[in-house]
Structure 1
Amino acid sequence: MPTSAPQPPARRRGGRRGGDADTRGDILRAAREHFAQGYEATSVRAVARAADVDPSLIVQFFGGKDGLFKAVLDEAVQPDEGVGRVLADDGGTDLGQRLAAYFFGMWEDPARRHPFQAMLVSAASNEAAATVLREFVRGEVIARIGAMIEGDDAELRAELAGSQLIGAALVRYVYRIPPLCDAPLSDVVGRVGRAVQSHLAG
């Protein structure tokens, strides 16, 4: 008795891909491009369309828009590989310089700059983005720095150091106010690094 020809596997509804090995990376790449246009202008559905996946897959992977935004920040800042590595190499008196060199090096990379830039701009007017920013900076940056220094005011000094870095980045890369936006990178790293070190040393 003749057998029927094998049928191709059914596609997902709408022809979208499932969660294969590259899907998470494709979602993050699409999200990075959308968040570069601003937090409020980005939606889970728009990112899903760009990544050719079902929106439910983004919820499954990241929990929603806030989780997706944090994942993009994690990818941009790389707290374990970047901040963690800088702090692990405990050089004491040059920690501020190394933090500044890493931080401004991140901003000099356009692929990493855009999501972080969008976060800082969006946090000024959007409470959801501000919440993600606070949790990310406190958990992934301030807490790590605070654990490396001593004193009753270690957390405050760590926050001051982080504020020094973020404030300088806002002026240089977001608002582009001269002369800071035109100053040589090495000069900015040196000056901000010394200020950061003064906070860390108390």
Structure 2
Amino acid sequence: MVDEPSPRRSDATRAAILEAARRRFAADGFRRATIRAIAADAAIDPSMVMRYYGSKDGLFAAAVDVALDLPDLGAADPDTVGELLVRQFLALWEGPPTGEILLTLLRSAVADDAVIEKIRQVFAGQVTPAVLRFGSPADAARRAGLVVSQLLGLALTRYVLRLPPVVALTPADVVEQIAPTVQRYLAGG
């Protein structure tokens, strides 16, 4: 009879693998990160990674699974929706573990075409339904795309390229500068 790991030990192993994978994917990108390196970072045998996640693709999918938890735009004051989205964006990007997950996605997409679909699923799949609650449904996809372009551009310059003038902005500065543009995109202007 094969001994199965206890649930507590299994959960701890899964958590260690995911934490190591997030760090490794963020640092190396999807293509350069290896199962062996991730296993070494988690201080486990590589076969354990495969046991829990099946493949590098399965591990990546688990490591970058993220919910944006966007506010209900339909219930918000229409004049503050851009501000709400920018504040939520900053909270996600600047807080663990979501910020690390989003950074991993963005860095990997810049270097690896295979990750682009995941970014489409995370952002467009979660942003478009939120945008549908605000403004005309006829052009919601276009408006959601513009919102995402603004926010991913901010993410690229603030968190990946780390451009000093953008990094130096306080969260309040970011909201003040970016929210009106996001608001305009949401309103369809």
Give the TM-score band, short-chain normalised. Answer: 0.7 to 0.9
Cα distance per residue 1:122-173 (max 9 Å; x no partner): 212211122322232222x333323323231111001101111110121122
Cα distance per residue 1:174-200 (max 9 Å; x no partner): 112242221222011222112111111
Structure 2 unmatched ranges of 5 or more: none
Identify if the C-alpha distance between structure 1 residues 143 and 110 changes in structure 2 by more than 3 Å, giving closer, same or farther.
same
Q: Distance in 2 between matches of 1:33 and 1:125?
A: 16
Q: Distance in 1 between matches of 2:62 and 2:123?
A: 13
Task: State the partner residue of 2:133.
Answer: 148
SS at match of 1:22: helix
Q: Aligned Cα RMSD in Å? A: 2.7
Q: Distance in 2 between matches of 1:115 and 1:128?
A: 16
TM-score, with normalisation over the residues of structure 1? Answer: 0.75
Checking the alignment, whether the CA contact within 8 Å between 1:48 and 1:58 is kept in structure 2 is no
Q: CA deviation at 1:51?
A: 5.8
Task: State the partner residue of 2:44.
Answer: 52
Q: CA deviation at 1:108?
A: 2.0
- Using CA pairs under 8 Å that are at least 6 residues apart, name the structure with larger relative contact order, 1 or 2: 2
Amino acid at match of 1:52: I
Task: State the partner residue of 1:5.
Answer: none
Structure 1 unmatched ranges of 5 or more: 1-8
Task: State the partner residue of 1:159.
Answer: 145
- Structure with the higher helix share, 1 or 2: 2
Q: Distance in 2 between matches of 1:89 and 1:46?
A: 45
Task: State the partner residue of 1:69.
Answer: 60
Pick from 132, 135, 155 the counterpart of residue 169 of structure 1.
155
Q: Whose Rg is larger?
A: 1
Aligned residues: 180
TM-score, with normalisation over the residues of structure 2? Answer: 0.79
Q: Distance in 1 between matches of 2:187 and 2:129?
A: 15
SS at match of 1:169: helix
Identity among equivalent pairs (%): 33
Matches within 5 A, 1:90-105: 90-91=75-76, 92-105=78-91
Pick from 171, 183, 188 the counterpart of residue 185 of structure 1.
171
